[in-house]
Structure 1
Amino acid sequence: MDVLPLRLPTGADLRMALQQAAPAAAFVLAGIGSLSVLKLRLAGAADPTEWQGDFELLTLCGSLSPDGPHLHASVADAEGRVFGGHVAAGCIVRTTAEVLIAVLADWQFNRATDPATGYAELITQRLR
């Protein structure tokens, strides 16, 4: 396992930046920072919800594959209320985001629709 520390600048789309940085197989181990636009798909919801304001990114974790990321985040709003969900495209970095990625060189990750869940679920394959 190798690690890849990233700093995403003001204005970056959190999900898109991680998708572009994604190797063949990786996990986001940690992420902190701030967001000015937050788009999360909440538990059980079909579509993401968008909020604008000042948000602290408390935790970020998930998997990265060439087929796209699967990311979860917890955030706090300006009053300190904490909530979280699936990270959607359109989460915009307010000041910075610091992310640590674990790269798994001997693995290939893909996603395929699972008939049981209806979602594109992770498929792992060891290369060596």
Structure 2
Amino acid sequence: MTMQAFPLRLLPGDDLRGAIETALAGQDAAFVLQGIGSLSVVRLRFAGRPQADEFRGDYEILTIAGSVSADGAHLHMSVSDADGLVLGGHVAPGCIVRTTAELLAATLPGHAFTREHDPATGYPELAIRAR
């Protein structure tokens, strides 16, 4: 039950979240460990807000990490704009790669992730099971 790490490179125009979900499709349990790159469109949902905010321009991905299951991805990211202003939050669909996104992902054989309603939080939260 060894973690298997592998690199991903996304291309200009790719939807960041969608490409990650596609690349890790069929995996029962995976994580994005880290990533760098650039975006022309950033869509982040900030803490406590119901909808994502959208920003257009030249942005650098400083960090990205999160879990991926058959139920989809739960990713958080920090980005900086051309003036060095840093934003961070929950990655929403529609973040568009500008020049590249270079990611390190890992799969966890022997585990299965799902998202299940947690009555304590009111949200679908990560459920981890051994296979």
- Is the TM value for this pair above 0.5? yes
- Aligned partner of 2:110 in structure 1 is 106
One of 50, 57, 61 as aligned partner of 1:46? 50
Q: Deviations over 1:62-110 (max 9, x none)?
A: 0010101000000001100111000000000000000101110111100
Distance 2:114 2:108 in 1: 13
Shift of 1:4: 1.7
What is the match of residue 91 of structure 1? 95
Q: Deviations over 1:3-45 (max 9, x none)?
A: 1210000000000011112221011110100000000000111
Question: Aligned pairs, how many?
Answer: 127
Name the residue aligned to 2:17.
Answer: 15
RMSD over equivalenced CA pairs, Å: 0.7
Equivalent position SS for 2:77: strand
Q: Return 5+ residue gaps in structure 2 as ranges.
A: none
Moved over 3 A (4+): none
TM-score normalized by structure 2? 0.94
Identity of aligned residues (%): 58
Match of 2:34 among 27, 30, 46: 30
Pick the aligned partner of 2:67 from 63, 67, 72: 63
Please give the alpha-carbon distance, in whole angstroms, between the structure 2 residues aligned to 1:17 and 1:44: 26
Displacement of 1:118 in angstroms is 2.0
AA aligned to 2:130 is R
Distance (whole Å) between structure 1 residues aligned to residue 68 and residue 97 of structure 2: 19
> Is 2:76 aligned against 1:76?
no
Counterpart residue type for residue 70 of structure 2: P
TM-score, length-scaled by structure 1:
0.97
The residue type paired with residue 122 of structure 2 is G
